[in-house]
Each structure stands twice: as C-alpha cells, then as structure tokens.
C-alpha cells in the first residue's frame, strides 16, 4: 500500500467530514418531516442564509465523499484481491451516497434561497423532500459501511478494529432508516435519533480518515503475515 495514497485518502475523508459538520452546525435544528406549514415557513425565513450555507457545504461534503470512496478502494485494494467485487460495491455505495447528498443539498439551498417567495405548502414539501432525501441516503451509506467493513476486517491492525466498529455503525444506520416512518417524537425523520444515528456514521468515517492520515501502513494493516522459509 502506498503511504502517499493513504495520506491522500485520509485527508479527503477528514475534509469531507469537516464540511458535513460545518453544514450541520449552520442549521442543526431544521423542522422534522411532517412539520406544519407555519413552522416550516417560519424556519425557512429565519434561517434563509444559514440554509444556503448548509446546502453549499453538504454538497461539498458529498462530492468529497465520492473522492474518498475511490481513494479508500485504492488503499484497500490489497485486501480485496480475492474479493474485488466487495471493493466495487463499496465504491458504488460511496458514489451513490455522495450523489444523493449533492441532490439533497440542492433542495436545501433552494429552500433557503426562495424562502421569502414560497407559500407554506410549497416550503413544507421542499423541506420534506430534503429530509427524506437525507434519510434514504442512509441506504447508500449502509452499503458503503458494510462493504468497507468487510474489507477492513481482513487487516490485522487499526483498520480491523474500525471494521469491527462498522458493525455497530450499521445498526445505527438501520435505526436511522426506520425513522422515515415517523413524523413525531424522538424517532421523527430529521429528529434527534436521526441526528445521532447519522452522526455515528460521520464519526466512523472521520476516524478512518484520521487513521489513514497519521498512521503508518504497519499500524493500519498490522504486521505482514510471516511466511515460512523453504527447507
């Protein structure tokens, strides 16, 4: 594995998560799915500038995540020699995740940009489209996490530990997807459980990025497997 490739992948992943964090902090409490039109319109008007900032950085995060998935596949290519299709699945999940996030960001940005001109029903529809878009992005993230974890479990270093953590992340993502059926309470789509569940996935990606950025290949993959001498 090239150390330069690992550093590049780590830097891309870390910046992607930073962009995501900036977007979230710009507007951490948008209305949950199914909110009444008055609540949605009031929020859209109050956070018009913030939502445009959030949309921009969500899009940047999505684009960088596509690059991260491609770079990570390159880094893990040795682990995927016998199961190359797993790396392809991981890349496909990463591309789908990033693409949908950019599309969701367009909705978020549009809602902020046109807030003053929208009627309540239109604003509520756009808000729900954005919310459910982010929730169903979880399907793609789940594909990425499961495939990446499967590859990482073939190492014997820090990446193996992160692969094991991927199983826990997958459980949170499953719960994240379940929130699509709720419009009230803690499980409401876009509510506290959604934020925590997707946040766990973001932290996992950040840990992968930081590990690739600062650790040497031996620490990432573990010591090479010893081969016996020919007698």
SS (H, E, C) the chain: CCHHHHHHHHHHHHHHHHHHHHHHHHCCCCCCCCCCHHHHHHHHHHCHHHHHHHHHHHHHHHHHHHHHHHHHHHHCCCCCCCCHHHHHHHHHHHHHHHHHHHHHHHHHHHHHHCHHHCCHHHHHHHHHHHHHHHHHHHHHHHHHHHHHHHHHCCCCCHHHHHHHHHHHHHHHHHHHHHHHHCCCCCCCCCCHHHHHHHHHHHHHHHHHHHHHHHCCHHHHHCCCCCCCCCC
Please calculate the CA angle 141-84-168 and round it to the nearest 5 degrees.
Answer: 35
Contact by Cβ (8 Å): 121, 71: no
Q: Is residue 126 part of a domain?
A: yes
d(C-alpha 72, C-alpha 24), whole Å: 24
d(C-alpha 208, C-alpha 34), whole Å: 35
63 lies in which domain range?
3-215
Phi, psi of 215 (to 5 degrees): -95, 155
Q: Is residue 222 part of a domain?
A: no
The 10s digit of each residue's pLDDT in 22-52 is 999 999 888 999 999 999 999 999 999 999 9
Is the pLDDT at 221 greater than 80, yes or no? Answer: yes
Is the pLDDT at 60 greater than 60, yes or no? Answer: yes
Q: Is residue 74 part of a domain?
A: yes
Contact by Cβ (8 Å): 142, 102: no
Q: Is residue 191 part of a domain?
A: yes
Q: Is residue 60 part of a domain?
A: yes
Q: Is residue 39 part of a domain?
A: yes
Token pair of 123 as six digits: 């604003």
Please calculate the CA angle 90-94-97 and round it to the nearest 5 degrees.
Answer: 135
Q: Over range 61-87, report the average pLDDT.
A: 86
Which contacts qualify for 134-137: CB closer than 8 Å, 24 or more apart?
134/101, 134/104, 134/190, 134/194, 134/198, 135/33, 135/176, 135/177, 135/179, 135/180, 135/189, 135/190, 135/194, 136/100, 136/177, 136/180, 137/97, 137/100, 137/101, 137/104
- How many independent structural domains does the chain possess? 1
According to the model, what pLDDT value does residue 222 have? 82
According to the model, what pLDDT value does residue 79 have? 62
The 10s digit of each residue's pLDDT in 99-119 is 999 999 999 999 999 989 999
Q: Is residue 110 part of a domain?
A: yes
Q: Is residue 230 part of a domain?
A: no
According to the model, what pLDDT value does residue 155 have? 85
According to the model, what pLDDT value does residue 217 have? 86
Nearest to 19 by CA among 98, 119, 114, 111: 98
């Amino acid at each position: 594995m090239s150390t330069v490739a690992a550093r590049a992948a780590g830097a891309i992943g870390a910046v992607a998560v930073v962009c995501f964090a900036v977007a979230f902090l710009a507007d951490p409490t948008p209305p949950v799915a199914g909110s009444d039109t008055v609540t949605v319109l009031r929020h859209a008007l109050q956070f018009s500038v913030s939502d445009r900032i959030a949309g921009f950085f969500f899009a940047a995060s999505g684009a960088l995540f596509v690059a991260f998935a491609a770079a990570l596949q390159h880094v893990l290519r040795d682990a995927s020699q016998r199961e190359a299709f797993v790396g392809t699945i991981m890349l496909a999940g990463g591309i789908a995740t990033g693409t949908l996030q950019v599309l969701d960001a367009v909705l978020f940005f549009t809602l902020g940009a046109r807030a003053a001109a929208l009627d309540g029903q239109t604003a509520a529809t756009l808000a729900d489209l954005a919310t459910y878009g982010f929730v169903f992005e979880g399907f793609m993230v789940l594909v990425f996490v499961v495939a990446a974890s499967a590859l990482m479990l073939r190492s014997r270093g820090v990446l193996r530990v992160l692969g094991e953590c991927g199983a826990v992340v997958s459980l949170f993502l499953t719960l994240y997807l379940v929130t699509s059926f709720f419009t009230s309470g803690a499980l409401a789509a876009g509510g506290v459980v959604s934020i925590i569940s997707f946040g766990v996935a973001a932290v996992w990606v950040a840990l992968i990025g930081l590990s690739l950025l600062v650790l040497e290949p031996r620490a990432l993959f573990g010591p090479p497997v010893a081969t016996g001498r020919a007698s």
